[in-house]
Every structure is written in structure tokens, then in C-alpha cells.
């Protein structure tokens, strides 16, 4: 069984605090509505009977002897069942002209013996208080008569006749509210626990690297800016700062070796690999490095849309052309030192093109011109494209998205890359929610350069 981090689970519950509050409140509202508008008010009253000495005894000394006590205690259980018998209840229904049958009436009749006594208590509940009183008293009368007729024992006396009930007996609103609140809270927290326990998606916390088996080399916060070129347009944004931190981490990771080529992939589409690729390329270019960003996603690459470039001539076109002049495939961007090769046409055999000698020759030529080459690869979800490029690149970065990417998928990508001996530098956790307590307090700059404080 997977160990549960109570601290992380508590944060998970706090994240869904609205749900934790809302469900109990809704349940309480439903209970109040039911009790006040739907639930039928019921009235309850009772009569008590006692088993006395038989009237056949000397009435001048009508006291219970030991034999009478023993007999009456044995009869108590019998009389309890006899009171709710068809014989008794049928007569009650007929006498009072009730619109019900024996089974229906029996549901509202309760017979109990008072412990260690020969007293029987008959309780009746009904929506009409007068009817409840009449039924109770009639049951007691009919029962007393039938005991004499059937058992030929006159040993039942009525102690208390049923009184007219003044108040509703099933007014349990307070109790129902408490139960609804408790059930709502326990049920909601229990449901969240089940979801949390079986939730396989990656989340940023201190054990993430251990769980994923890949070092977290970058933590990219979710931005509210509506652009993919964040580093260029909003250099002081917190997400841009996170990209620069990623760039610095990459430099330190390659301190003992020369890193010229970086492949960026993900477990599936929509995790932000192209966003990371584009902004990381901008970040390297801003340091004066000559950077080329190549769209190796020959199926669904979108770098041409991010940089607003023509896609008529791209990587796929060069790989199938005999023209060795690469210059016309290079797209200058508005960002200094950054060049882009778009994907080009969508070929039927992208894996073969990426694995071709012509592609390797292209990369060797580009190394003579550019300091950094970044490959924006397709997701590594069953496709070999990213694996092929991964064997060529010095570093491979795997992008995952918080609360989207599953640990299983991340582990599968890691295993696939390791099988082809690709150098996995680390995991980039994208789309981190900055509002979470775990990320603490940060300073950031607005687009106008004003320094603001972002609270956790």
C-alpha cells in the first residue's frame, strides 16, 4: 500500500475547501427542506397495562402471590405479540373505521415490556393526534377483552389511558442537521481521500523526484499572460524568471561536459513542451548565445504559429530535398540571436526522416554556426520520433504538467529514453499553480516594471 503523506493530503483538502464546505451545507439545506416541507408531522401517545391477580381469585385479598408473578412474567412476551395480532388490530380498524390494513397499522404500533415488571406499554403514532389517542385506547380495550375470551384469564388492567398528544413526536430537525453535517464532512473528506490515494498525476512536493525517478531541473509557474513568447514580451514575469532559472540549472548540469544540443519532449500532447522550448530558446538567446530552435514534431509541430512564421519550407522539406543549401530553411525571428526551423510539410514517414543520415549531417553543419541547438520533439507516447532525436542530443528534458501528467506515463517515458541510452537531464514540471501554499511567497514584476508582492 502506498504511503500517504498526511501533510500533502491536508493541503489537498484545503485546495478543495469549497467542496468540503459546500456539500455539508447542501445536505443540511436538503434536510431542513425535507423536515419542514415534505416530512409528515406525526403525533405519539401511549397507554400502559399491568398484569394483575386474576379476578377469579378472592377479590377481598386481590394480591399477587408468587405463582401469579411467575405466570404473568411468562405471559408478558405472549401478550406483546397478541396486541399486534390480526385479531386485535382488525377489530380496532373496524371500530374506528380506519383507512388502512393490519400491516399498515402495525407499522405505527409499538409494544414493549417495562424491564423487570409485568407492565406493558402500547405506543401509537399517527399524523392526526386525536386518531393516535383513539387507536391507543381502543387497542388497550380490545386486547383486554380478547385476553378474557381467548385465555379465560382476567388479569389485565389499564394503568394509563392515552392522552391527547399536543406536540409533534417526529420533530428531529436538530438531530438531522447534526447528522447531515457529520455525514457531509466525513463523506466529502473520505471521497477526497479516495481520489487523492488513486490520483497518479504528478504534483510538486519534496518527494516528487523520488517518485518520478527523474531530477526536477525546472519548475515553471502557470502564467496568466496570453502569449507563448513570454520571456521576450514579459521578461520580468515570474514565469520568465523560472525559465531563466531552468537555463541556469542546465548550465550547471553540464559543467563537466559541453552541452550544445537539447531535446525537449513530454509524455503527451498539451503539457507545454513547445512553450518551454520557445521560451528556453529565447532565454539562451538573451545571453548572447546564437540559438537555433528546430521543430522536430513533424506531425503536429506549432513553432511556426508561435513565432508567426511561414511553414512552407521546414525541416521535413529539407530532409527530402536534394538541395544542400540550408540557408533558405532558416527563419530569422524578431528576437536577437534566435533562428527557427519550422516543421514543414507533414510527411508520411517522420521517424525515418529524423533517423536519416541527412538529418545527422544537418545537425553537424548547424553546430558550426550556432552555440545552442534546441529540438522541440513530439510527445514520447508510443512514438519513436523523440527517442531518435534523444539519441542525438546531449541533453533530454521531459516536460510534465502538474495535475495532468501521470507518474506512470512519466516512468514509461523515462524507461523508453533509457532503453536507447538517451541522456535524461531532468524533468521540467510545468503549469505549477502559484497560489498553493507550498510555493511560499515570491516577488514578481508586472509588465510595467512595478514591483509587487505575491502572497502564498
Q: Which residues contact 59 (CB under 8 A, 6 or more apart)?
A: none
pLDDT in tens, 145-162: 998 988 888 888 999 999
- Pull the grid cell for residue 93: 380498524
> To which residue does cell 523560472 refer?
242
In this model, does residue 335 exceed pLDDT 90?
yes
198-234 exposure pattern, b = at least 16 Cβ within 10 A, e = fewer: eeeebbbeeebeeebebebbbbbbebeeeebbbbbeb
In this model, does residue 1 exceed pLDDT 50?
no
Check residue 110 and give left, alpha or beta (phi > 0: left; psi -120 to 50: alpha): beta
pLDDT in tens, 387-401: 999 999 999 999 999
What average pLDDT does this structure show over 369-385? 91
What average pLDDT does this structure show over 68-94? 83
> To which residue does cell 399536543 refer?
166
Q: What is the CATH number of domain 43-160?
A: 3.30.70.1130
In this model, does residue 449 exceed pLDDT 60?
no
Sort 445 into a burial class: Cβ within 10 Å, 0-12 / 13-18 / 19+: middle
What average pLDDT does this structure show over 372-401? 92
pLDDT in tens, 2-52: 567 788 788 889 989 999 999 999 999 999 999 999 999 999 999 999 988
The contacts found for 441-448 with CB under 8 angstroms, 24 or more apart, are 442/238, 444/236, 444/237, 444/238, 444/241, 445/236, 445/237, 446/236, 447/234, 447/236, 447/237
- For residues 371 and 290, is the Cβ–Cβ distance under 8 A? yes
What average pLDDT does this structure show over 71-100? 88
* Segments making up each domain of the chain, as ranges: 6-39+171-198, 43-160, 208-454
Mean pLDDT lowest among 15-29, 65-79, 309-323: 65-79
d(C-alpha 125, C-alpha 148), whole Å: 27
User: Positive or negative, the Cα torsion across 257, 262, 268, 270?
Assistant: positive
Regarding pTM above 0.75, the answer is no
Give the Å distances, CA to CA, from 450 to 228, 364, 447.
22, 44, 7
In this model, does residue 59 exceed pLDDT 90?
no
Binning pLDDT at 50, 70 and 90, where does residue 87 land? Answer: very high
Maximum CA extent, the chain: 133
Q: Which CATH number fits domain 208-454: 3.30.2040.10, 3.40.50.300, 1.10.10.60, 3.30.450.20?
A: 3.40.50.300
In this model, does residue 57 exceed pLDDT 50?
no
> To which residue does cell 427542506 refer?
33
- For residues 123 and 45, is the Cβ–Cβ distance under 8 A? yes
Amino acid at each position: 500500500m502506498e504511503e500517504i503523506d498526511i501533510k500533502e493530503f491536508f493541503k489537498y483538502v484545503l485546495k478543495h475547501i469549497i467542496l468540503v464546505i459546500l456539500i455539508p451545507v447542501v445536505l443540511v439545506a436538503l434536510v431542513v427542506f425535507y423536515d419542514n416541507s415534505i416530512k409528515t408531522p406525526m403525533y405519539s401517545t401511549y397507554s400502559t397495562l399491568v398484569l394483575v391477580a386474576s379476578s377469579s381469585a378472592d377479590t377481598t385479598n386481590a394480591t399477587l402471590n408468587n405463582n401469579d408473578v411467575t405466570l404473568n412474567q411468562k405471559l408478558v412476551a405472549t401478550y406483546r405479540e397478541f396486541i399486534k395480532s390480526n385479531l386485535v388490530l382488525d377489530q380496532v380498524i373496524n371500530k374506528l373505521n380506519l383507512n388502512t390494513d393490519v400491516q399498515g397499522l402495525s407499522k405505527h404500533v409499538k409494544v414493549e415490556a417495562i424491564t423487570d415488571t409485568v407492565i406493558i406499554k402500547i405506543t401509537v403514532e399517527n399524523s392526526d393526534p386525536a386518531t393516535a389517542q383513539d387507536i391507543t385506547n381502543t387497542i388497550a380495550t380490545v386486547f383486554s377483552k380478547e385476553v378474557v375470551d381467548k385465555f379465560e384469564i382476567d388479569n389485565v388492567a389499564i394503568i394509563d389511558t392515552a392522552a391527547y398528544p399536543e406536540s409533534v413526536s417526529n420533530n428531529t430537525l436538530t438531530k438531522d442537521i447534526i447528522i447531515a453535517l457529520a455525514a457531509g464532512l466525513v463523506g466529502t473528506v473520505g471521497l477526497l481521500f479516495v481520489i487523492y490515494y488513486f490520483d497518479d498525476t504528478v504534483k510538486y512536493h519534496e518527494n516528487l523526484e523520488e517518485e518520478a525517478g527523474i531530477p526536477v531541473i525546472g519548475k515553471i509557474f502557470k502564467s496568466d499572460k496570453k502569449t507563448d513568447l513570454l520571456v521576450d514580451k514579459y521578461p520580468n514575469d515570474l514565469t520568465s524568471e523560472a525559465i531563466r532559472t531552468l537555463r541556469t540549472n542546465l548550465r550547471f548540469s553540464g559543467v563537466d561536459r559541453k552541452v550544445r544540443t537539447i531535446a525537449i519532449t513530454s509524455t503527451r500532447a498539451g503539457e507545454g513542451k513547445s512553450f518551454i522550448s520557445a521560451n528556453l530558446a529565447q532565454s539562451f538567446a538573451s545571453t548572447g548565445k546564437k540559438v537555433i530552435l528546430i521543430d522536430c514534431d513533424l506531425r503536429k509541430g506549432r513553432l511556426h504559429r508561435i513565432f508567426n512564421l511561414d511553414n512552407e519550407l521546414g525541416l521535413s522539406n529539407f530532409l527530402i530535398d536534394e538541395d544542400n543549401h540550408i540557408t533558405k530553411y532558416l527563419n530569422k525571428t524578431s528576437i536577437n540571436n534566435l533562428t527557427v526551423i519550422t516543421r514543414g510539410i507533414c510527411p508520411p514517414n517522420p521517424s525515418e526522416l529524423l533517423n536519416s543520415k541527412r538529418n545527422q549531417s544537418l545537425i553537424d553543419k548547424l553546430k558550426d554556426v550556432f552555440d545552442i541547438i534546441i529540438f522541440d520533439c513530439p510527445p514520447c507516447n508510443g512514438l519513436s520520433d523523440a527517442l531518435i532525436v534523444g539519441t542525438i542530443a546531449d541533453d533530454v528534458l521531459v516536460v510534465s504538467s502538474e495535475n495532468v501528467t501521470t507518474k506512470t506515463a512519466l516512468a514509461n517515458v523515462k524507461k523508453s529514453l533509457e532503453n536507447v541510452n538517451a541522456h535524461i537531464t531532468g524533468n521540467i514540471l510545468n503549469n505549477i499553480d502559484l497560489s498553493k501554499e507550498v510555493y511560499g511567497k515570491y516577488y514578481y514584476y508586472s509588465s510595467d516594471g512595478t514591483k509587487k508582492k505575491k502572497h502564498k
